[in-house]
Structure 1
Amino acid sequence: MLYKIAADVVVLIHFLWILFLIFGVFIGKKYRIIKTFHITGLGFAVIMQIFGWYCPLTYLELWLRKKHDPSLSYTGSFIIHYAEKLIYVELSPLVIFILTLILVSVSAYFYLKKER
């Protein structure tokens, strides 16, 4: 049971991380340390997708799920798995990569935009 709880906590942290990558630019414009962390996270996300790697949190969640009950484990990407499970949307790795590049572009725009 402890492994299941730990895996669920990792899922929550993973969702929060993704939300930070999406919305972190709004906090990052105000705080330099957040901006640095946000840009680093976006860069890491792009690199992982280019090389076909999964987030370390995905590997941790899968390991914990296998320890609790191997039948609860899934294969592939965290985002693909939960998008299909929660909102019934089928996403390919290419779509996720394109969305990530759009997110990076929008973040770059906000970071580079001069205040009037």
Structure 2
Amino acid sequence: MVFRVLAEATMTVHFAFLVYVVAGGFLAWRWPWAIWPHLVLAGWGFSTIVFGFDCPLTHLENWARHEAGEQGLRTGFIDTYLTGVVYPERYTTLLQMLAGLVVLVSWAGFLVRRRRPAPARVTAPN
């Protein structure tokens, strides 16, 4: 039971990771320090697609599922839970490019917002 919960929790974290990789740069518009973890995690997400690096979350989920007596993922996380389930396989490249575009837009918006002078604070007269 514990390993099944761990596997499900890992799957949930993995989904959150994907959302953050794609859209997390927009958080930096509000909280500028958030750009640094986003750069690192977006770089990692990019490297798993381009260079085929294995994701440690996939390994953790596989291990937990095997320990729970279940079958692990036959392919990667995205291939298992998204491709062919949420969108047809033929759109994979298009969706990867769109995700990359969203990341670049968030970074460009971050840079524009950082270069803009801060608005003057209005103080109430005493």
Q: TM-score range by the shorter chain?
A: 0.7 to 0.9
Distance between the aligned counterparts of 2:90 and 2:7, measured in 1? 23
3-state DSSP of counterpart to 2:88: coil
1:88 to 1:97, Cα distance in 2 relative to 1, 3 A: closer
Distance between the aligned counterparts of 1:92 and 1:67, measured in 2? 34
Q: CA deviation at 1:88?
A: 5.5
Distance between the aligned counterparts of 2:76 and 2:92, measured in 1? 8
Quick check: 2:25–2:35 contact (8 Å CA) kept in 1? yes
> What are the equivalent positions in structure 2 for 1:21-100 lying under 5 Å apart?
21-70=21-70, 72-84=71-83, 86-87=85-86, 89-90=88-89, 94-95=93-94, 97-100=96-99
- Would you tell me which structure has more helix in proportion to its own residues? 1
Distance between the aligned counterparts of 2:52 and 2:95, measured in 1? 12
Pairwise CA RMSD: 2.5
Sequence identity of aligned pairs in percent? Answer: 24
Unaligned runs of at least 5 residues, structure 1: none
Q: How many residues align?
A: 115
Higher RCO, 1 or 2 (CA under 8 Å, sep at least 6)?
2
Quick check: 1:21–1:42 contact (8 Å CA) kept in 2? yes
Q: CA deviation at 1:98?
A: 2.9
Distance between the aligned counterparts of 1:74 and 1:6, measured in 2? 14
One-letter code of the match for 2:78?
I
Moved more, 10-19 or 82-91: 82-91
**Corresponding residue for residue 12 of structure 1:** 12
